[in-house]
A and B are shown apart, each in its own frame.
Chain A
Amino acid sequence: MSAFRFSHSPIDAVPLRAELIDPHCGGFAAFEGWVRDHNEGQKVTRLDYEAFEALGVREGERIIAEARQRFGVERILCVHRLGSLDLTDVAVWVGAASAHRDEAFRACRYVIDEVKHRVPIWKKEHYVSGDSGWVNCERCAAHAGDADLETGHAHHHHDHA
């Protein structure tokens, strides 16, 4: 199975962790991203995730291959949840196992940071107010509305975070 996967059902960490167990490894680090109840001053009630899965798996696998090469860590796995999520649900799970702890921590950190920036996944937040919005998109769209290319608003670059 691919080292980067999408899941349309709740993520269960126990079997994922079990996939990484290896007598050669003495350190295992995992990161879980959870759905929290607030973002940028708004009260969040739930999230929808969607992805361009075919390209997302490719890009996710590239990230894991980079982490293996950089940190010399063979056993890495990342699963990202899609669909409708409630508060406290696991949105993403990353695990890395290696001979020593330092590489495992670093590989884990590298994978989650790169996944957030590069994998085509989108998050729609639903708020207590009844509003909703696509994270990182609405802000750009607001700027595009008054994007007068001659006055320079259009060079508003964000980092595709």
Chain B
Amino acid sequence: MTAPLYGLVLAGGRSSRMGRDKAALEFDGRTQLARAFDLLAPLTKRCFVSVREDQRSDPLRAGYPQVVDRPDVPPGPAGGILAAQHAHPGVAWLVLACDLPRLDAATLQHLIARRDPARAATAFRSSHDGLPEPLCAIWEPATAAALAAALRAGIHCPRKFLLQSDTLLLDQLREDTLDNVNTPAELARLGGGKVSADERELTVQYFALLREQAGQREETVRTRAGTPRELYAELSARHGFSLGPEHLKVAVNTEFSDWSRPLSAGDAVVFIPPVAGG
């Protein structure tokens, strides 16, 4: 039987070569994390962001369903995958790095369409060296025990792990779709790089339970939050809202909006708790 497919965006890296948080880098006005999550979530049954323990309440990451690294596993992509397999056993994971600015939905759809659940994994063959690309790949449940053993044996490289596993390798649709960015020079070549926007002033209106918990009907906020998702995480930390973003809808300028829509100065934002008319 084919295991259900969950999504995992890896956003726990230290971005040491970039010198700043890769997940927060913006291309076309959206962070790499938001872009990766929004590509993956509609294609998977449930979708999570892999984070380190100390990143749980980071505003960029706090608004997403998270899988947190385990203290007994060394940090890194393989550790993130293992943490997801432990937290939700028996499912397959489409694992995605958050630093693939050229990745598109067609590539993910191709991977899912060609998935062979009888193999350990389904991955693309690197257009550079012919080796498996482990961070845009489907990891079947069968890899869980072997990955734990590999980590215990000191094998931390997910590429090496897939190379030694029964991995179905697919050719990429275009050769640059999985090019990642690790250095400021690579980033500049792709035309991205703004880390996060300047502070801007927004108005937020509260209703019902959120109004009571915020203790006000409306406030003006100065924030670096680039999207409603980031803004809710920031305001939730300030006001102690009991509702998670998964229970809310959001409106910007009196129209229902996407959680990842870029916010501009002067926008009026309303977070909408579960409704109960009639």
**Chain A contacts to B: CB under 8 angstroms:** 33, 49-52, 54-55, 58-59, 80, 91-92, 112, 115-124, 134-138, 140-141, 144-145, 147, 149-152, 154-155, 157-158, 160-161
Q: Cβ of B255 and Cβ of A136 under 8 Å apart?
A: no
Chain A residue contacts of B243, Cβ below 8 A: 137, 140-141, 144
Chain B residue contacts of A151, Cβ below 8 A: 87
Taking the closest CB of chain B, its distance from the CB of A54, in whole angstroms, is: 5
Q: Cβ of A136 and Cβ of B276 under 8 Å apart?
A: yes
Partner of B278 from A116, A141, A144 at Cβ < 8 Å:
A116
Taking the closest CB of chain B, its distance from the CB of A119, in whole angstroms, is: 5
25 interchain pairs, CB-CB under 8 A: A50-B207, A51-B277, A52-B207, A52-B251, A55-B254, A59-B256, A80-B278, A92-B277, A115-B278, A116-B278, A120-B270, A120-B272, A121-B278, A122-B209, A134-B208, A135-B276, A137-B243, A137-B273, A144-B242, A150-B66, A150-B68, A155-B65, A158-B274, A160-B274, A161-B275
A50 and B276 alpha carbons, distance in the complex (Å): 10
Q: Cβ of B209 and Cβ of A137 under 8 Å apart?
A: yes
Chain B residue contacts of A145, Cβ below 8 A: 242
Known: A121-B277, A122-B207, A150-B87. A52 touches B270 (CB 8 A): yes
Chain B residue contacts of A116, Cβ below 8 A: 275-278
Q: Decide yes or no whether B94 CB sits under 8 A from chain A.
A: no
A149 and B6 alpha carbons, distance in the complex (Å): 14
A141 and B241 alpha carbons, distance in the complex (Å): 9
A147 and B68 alpha carbons, distance in the complex (Å): 14
A161 and B273 alpha carbons, distance in the complex (Å): 11
Known: A55-B254, A120-B207. A158 touches B247 (CB 8 A): yes
**Chain B contacts to A: CB under 8 angstroms:** 46, 48, 65-68, 87-88, 205, 207-209, 242-244, 246-247, 249, 251, 254-256, 270, 272-278
Taking the closest CB of chain A, its distance from the CB of B155, in whole angstroms, is: 24
Chain B residue contacts of A158, Cβ below 8 A: 247, 274
Q: Cβ of A154 and Cβ of B273 under 8 Å apart?
A: no
Partner of B246 from A118, A135, A154 at Cβ < 8 Å:
A154
Chain B residue contacts of A147, Cβ below 8 A: 244
Q: Which of B68, B254, B270 has the most CB of A within 10 A?
A: B254
Chain A residue contacts of B256, Cβ below 8 A: 55, 59
A52 and B67 alpha carbons, distance in the complex (Å): 34
Chain A residue contacts of B67, Cβ below 8 A: 149-150
Q: Cβ of A161 and Cβ of B274 under 8 Å apart?
A: yes
Chain B residue contacts of A120, Cβ below 8 A: 207, 251, 270, 272, 275
A80 and B251 alpha carbons, distance in the complex (Å): 21
A50 and B207 alpha carbons, distance in the complex (Å): 8
A121 and B208 alpha carbons, distance in the complex (Å): 9
Chain B residue contacts of A33, Cβ below 8 A: 278
Give the top 8 A-B pairs by smallest Cβ distance, nearest first: A121-B277, A122-B208, A141-B242, A136-B274, A116-B278, A135-B276, A150-B87, A123-B276
Chain B residue contacts of A122, Cβ below 8 A: 207-209, 273, 275-276
Q: Cβ of A118 and Cβ of B244 under 8 Å apart?
A: no
Chain A residue contacts of B278, Cβ below 8 A: 33, 80, 91-92, 112, 115-116, 121
Known: A52-B270, A52-B272, A112-B278. A134 touches B254 (CB 8 A): no
Known: A52-B205, A141-B243, A149-B66. A118 touches B255 (CB 8 A): no
Taking the closest CB of chain B, its distance from the CB of A41, in whole angstroms, is: 17
Taking the closest CB of chain A, its distance from the CB of B263, in whole angstroms, is: 17
